[in-house]
Amino acid sequence: MGDLRRRVYLSPPDVGPAEREALVDAFDSGWIAPLGPHVEQFERSAASRTGRAAGAALSSGTAALHLALRLAGVGSGDRVHVSTLTFVATANAVRYRGAEPVFIDSAVGSWTLDPAALAEQLELDAQRGRLPAAVVAVDLYGQCADYSQIEPLCERYEVPLIEDAAESLGARVGNRPAGSFGHSAILSFNGNKIITTSGGGMLVADDTELVARARWLASQAREPVAHYEHQTVGYNYRLSNLLAGMGVAQLQGLDAKVQARRANYARYRSALEPEGIEFIDEPDGHFNTHWLTAVLVPESFGVSPETIREHLETYDIESRPVWKPLHLQPAFSDAQVVGGSVAEGLFHRGLCLPSGSNLSAEDRERVIAGIFEARDRSRAG
Ligand SMILES: *Cc1c(COP(=O)(O)O)cnc(C)c1O
C-alpha cells in the first residue's frame, strides 16, 4: 500500500514567501532582462559570503566551471586533475575546453580529493615536464577538500586551483569560508543545492578583472563599440535579473538552511551509527554543510544499500547511490585515473539519504524506520 503522504525527495528546493516577494520585486523594478540591480546585489552578497572580491552570476554551476577553466588558461590538449568522486559536470567542463581530465581518487575518511595521490601525480608530471593546466578539487557533499595540503601543492607546482563549491556554500574550515580557496571557485544554485535560483551558478574570485572578463565572456564577448564586434568566441551564460532577486532572498536564509541540513545529519548519525552504519567524519576545524547525508552501509549491517534504497522507494522516499566515480563512466572510459579503489568502495557501499532543509522531523524518522525495516526483513528472510 502506498502512503498517502507526499513523496519525500532527496534535496528539494526550499523556498517560501520571501523568495516569492523577491521575485515579484525584481519584476516590478522593471529590470526583467538581461541584467539589472538584483544581479549586482546577488553578486556582491555571494562574493562577500565566500570571502572573495567579486562574483559573476551565471546560468549554471557548469557554466561557471567552464569559464573558470578557460580563465585559468585551460585549452585544447591540456590535462586537468579532477576528483573522480563527483557529479559529472566537473569533468564535462574540462571536455568543453578540449582538455582531458585525469581522475584522482578520494582519501579514506574524508571522501574528498586525496592530497597524497595528487602529490604523487604532480611529482610524476613535473619529472615528465607535463604538469596539468589546472586542478579542480570538489567539496564533496558539503565538506571542503583538504586545502591545507592541496593549496600549497598547487602553489609549489604553479598550477591554478579551482574549488568546486557547488555543494558547500556555507561551509568553512577555520575562519575560511567555502568558495575562498584557490584561483577561483564556483557555486551552483540548481534546484537540488543548498540555495537555489531554480537554476544558476556563480564564479567567485579575488581578481576583479578576471571576474569582469567572466561576465564579458558570458555575454557573447562583445567588444565595447556601437556595432556587434567580436574578437573571440563567447557564451550566453548570464543569470537573469528575476532569478538573481530570488538568489538574494535565498542567500539571506543560507545559515538557517545549513543548520537544518546539519540537523538532518546529526539525527541520522545518532540513530544509525550505533547500529553499524558509517558516516563521513567532520575533521577538526571543518564546518560542513552536509548538503546530503551520505552513509556507508557495511556488509555486516546485513542488507545492501541498493536493497535499502528500493525499500524506501516503496514508501515514496527518495534516496540515491553515492556519485558513480567518473573513471567508471563510459563517457570517460579513455581517461587516466590515479588510484580509484577508495572511490569505487564508497560507490558500492554508499547511500545518500533525504537531506532537504525543509525535511520534517516526522519524515526523517520515517526514513530511519524504513532503513531498520529493510534490515530486519532481510535478516528474517
Ligand atoms: C551541482 C554540481 C555542479 C553543477 O552545477 P549546475 O548548476 O547543476 O550546473 C558541479 N559540481 C558539483 C560537485 C555539483 O554538485
pLDDT at position 2 is 47
The per-residue pLDDT for 379 is 85
Q: Which of 193, 238, 289 for a ligand 1 pocket mutation test, highest count of atoms within 8 Å of Cβ?
A: 193
Rounded CA-CA distance 25/230 in Å is 34
Query: Among the residues of the chain, which ranges form H helices?
Result: 17-28, 37-49, 61-71, 89-96, 115-127, 147-156, 208-217, 241-252, 254-272, 305-314, 341-349, 361-380
State the distance from the centre of ligand 1 to the C-alpha of 128, rounded, in angstroms.
33
> What's the pLDDT at 244?
96
Nearest partner of 338 among 66, 79, 147, judged by Cα: 79
Distance CA 316, CA 339 (A): 37
Burial 282-294 (b: 16+ CB within 10 A, else e): beeebbbbbbbbb
- Predicted local confidence at residue 152, as pLDDT: 98
CB-based contacts of 84, cutoff 8 Å, min separation 6: 103, 104, 105, 106, 325, 326, 327, 337, 340, 343
pLDDT digits (tens, 9 = 90+) for 14-64: 999 999 999 999 999 999 877 889 999 999 999 999 999 999 999 999 999
> Residue 186 C-alpha to ligand 1 middle, in angstroms?
9
Closest-CA residue, ligand 1 atom 14, reads: 166
189 Cα: distance to centroid of ligand 1 (angstroms) = 8
Residue nearest ligand 1's atom 2 by CA:
166
pLDDT of 229 strictly over 60: yes
Give the distance (Å) from ligand 1 centre to CA of residue 96: 15
Rounded distance from Cα 101 to ligand 1 centre (Å): 16
Q: Does this model's pTM top 0.75?
A: yes
Q: How confident is the model at residue 5 (pLDDT cuts 50, 70, 90)?
A: low
Nearest to 7 by CA among 272, 260, 307, 319: 319
* Alpha carbon of 318 to ligand 1 centroid (Å): 19
Pocket test for ligand 1, best of 190, 203, 235 (most atoms within 8 A of CB): 190
The yes-or-no verdict on residue 4 having pLDDT over 70 is: no
Q: Ligand 1 center to residue 61 CA distance, Å? A: 5
- Tell which atom from ligand 1 comes closest to the C-alpha of 201: 7
Residues enclosing ligand 1, CB less than 6 A?
60-62, 86-87, 89-90, 138, 164, 166-167, 188, 190, 201
Cis peptide before 34 (omega within 30 of 0): yes
